[in-house]
């Protein structure tokens, strides 16, 4: 019998309980990416309100806060919750760290190590069958993700992200066969709440929709279309940000004003100029 919180999560995805399989895993990952936003407003607000010891809600609170506020989260919340849910559904799942600031999920299924990442904000819409290919490539617009083996026997793989053909700082070698303890994950979460940590010093929101990808970094919104065109806007007020979040992202309940107020109280001006890398 699965937990009520797992059933609530599946209801949000319009899915039902099934037996563990690759096809079911793919359904869950794809539905999650088109339902839950990648965002750090919840992270800022959890920290401001000291909502949880490690600012990572339990699964029921995670689902409830999606319904109430359209919270999703960054990898530290999302991929830990996804792992808990997959375990409850009967999958052999655990968390790994892909880099010093990124948590993902690995599922062992019929002898395979399968990467599931619902919070990397990358165009990977289905589980990655690591051992089945020497190069997994995912592309959307001007972004390319390459996941390739470094040492298959020891489950070592490399993740690289390219934007406009240029390798970004998102390049990690990770061990798909090394489950991380809760203490290790909690320490990563604690480190991610340093005042100078990336998701504590800007506003970030990204949402996959069936026909486009929308991102917000501070006051700059970008809408990427599959044909390669991009719409760009620089927003001039909190009210404009709220309007875009409501009408473009479809996340009218997301309390972005609260998140911006937190940032302002900590010396971050979301209307200041971003540097070239952040603005891209």
Strand partners, 138: 145
- pTM of the predicted model as reported, rounded to 2 decimal places: 0.94
Residue 271 lies in a domain: no
Which pLDDT tens digit goes with each residue over 8-64?
999 999 999 999 999 999 999 999 999 999 999 999 999 888 876 667 899 999 999
Residues 6+ apart with CB under 8 A from 220: 232, 233, 234, 235, 274, 279
Strand partners, 151: 156
Q: Is 131's pLDDT higher than 90?
A: yes
d(CA 233, CA 222): 7
Q: Is 133's pLDDT higher than 60?
A: yes
The structure tokens listed for 236 are 């001039």
Residue 93 lies in a domain: yes
Greatest distance between any 2 Cα atoms in the chain: 53
Tally of structural domains, the chain:
1
Residue 100 lies in a domain: yes
pLDDT at 273: 64
Residue 17 lies in a domain: yes
Residue 278 lies in a domain: no
Residue 13 lies in a domain: yes
Range of the domain at 8: 4-266
**Domain at 53, CATH number:** 3.30.2140.20
Residue keyed to tokens 């937190």: 262
Which pLDDT tens digit goes with each residue over 97-106?
998 999 999 9
Q: Is 279's pLDDT higher than 50?
A: no
Residue 273 lies in a domain: no
């Amino acid at each position: 019998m699965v937990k009520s919180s797992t059933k609530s999560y599946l209801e949000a995805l319009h899915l039902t309980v099934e037996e563990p399989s690759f096809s079911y895993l793919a359904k869950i990952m794809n539905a999650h990416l088109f339902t839950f936003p990648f965002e750090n407003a919840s992270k800022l607000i959890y920290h401001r309100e000291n909502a949880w010891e490690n600012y990572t809600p339990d699964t029921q609170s995670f689902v409830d806060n999606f319904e109430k506020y359209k919270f999703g989260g960054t990898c530290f919340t999302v991929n830990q919750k996804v792992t808990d849910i997959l375990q409850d559904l009967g999958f052999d799942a655990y968390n790994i760290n892909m880099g010093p600031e990124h948590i993902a999920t690995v599922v062992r299924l019929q002898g395979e190590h399968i990467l599931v990442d619902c919070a990397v904000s990358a165009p990977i819409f289905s589980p990655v069958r690591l051992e089945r290919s020497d190069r997994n490539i995912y592309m959307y617009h001007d972004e390319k993700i390459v996941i390739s083996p470094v040492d298959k026997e020891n489950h070592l793989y490399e993740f690289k992200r390219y934007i406009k053909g240029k390798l970004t700082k998102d390049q990690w070698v990770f061990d798909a066969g090394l489950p991380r303890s809760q203490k290790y994950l909690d320490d990563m979460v604690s480190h991610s709440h340093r005042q100078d940590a990336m998701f504590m010093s800007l506003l970030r929101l990204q949402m996959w929709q069936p026909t486009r990808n929308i991102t917000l970094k501070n006051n700059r919104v970008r809408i990427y279309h599959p044909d390669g065109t991009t719409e760009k806007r620089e927003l001039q007020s909190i009210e404009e940000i709220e309007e875009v979040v409501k009408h473009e992202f479809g996340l009218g309940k997301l309390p972005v004003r609260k998140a911006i107020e937190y940032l302002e109280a900590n010396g971050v001006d979301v209307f200041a100029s971003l540097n070239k890398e952040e603005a891209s």
